Amino acid sequence: MIYAILEINGKQTWVQPGNFYDIDKVSAQPGDYIRMDKILFLRNKQEILIGQPCINKVYAKGKVLKHIKGRKITVFKMKPKKNMYSKNGHRQELSRVFIESINKSH
């Protein structure tokens, strides 16, 4: 079983090849391949590599499938006895990325 922990846009994500993940929007078009170099941890069958903070010469290759929006979050603020309230919504822009492989470059 191969898996890795990547840092993508300041967030750590546990990934496996062959699965897709929703990450913060990247500046690539759907169908483009992206290379993620910030690998913090890698388990490759019996081998375990831990970065300090990142592992050199290891990268993950992913394909951008599409750009989507996340679930709506309602932000409600109220000040008691002041007749002040506000209700806003937010939907985060995400990119769905298919992780094809985790490779070692020589």
Residue range 33-59: mean pLDDT, rounded: 92
The total of structural domains in the chain comes to: 1
Q: For residue 28, what pLDDT is reported?
A: 94
Q: How confident is the model at residue 104 (pLDDT cuts 50, 70, 90)?
A: confident
Domain that holds residue 57: 2-104
Residue range 15-27: mean pLDDT, rounded: 95
Residue range 73-96: mean pLDDT, rounded: 96
Residue range 86-106: mean pLDDT, rounded: 93
Question: At residue 105, does pLDDT exceed 90?
Answer: no
Distance CA 35, CA 102 (A): 10
Closest CA to 98 of 64, 69, 60: 64
- Using DSSP's 3-state secondary structure scheme, residue 42 falls into strand
Question: At residue 56, does pLDDT exceed 80?
Answer: yes
CB-based contact 6:60 (threshold 8 Å): yes
Q: For residue 83, what pLDDT is reported?
A: 95
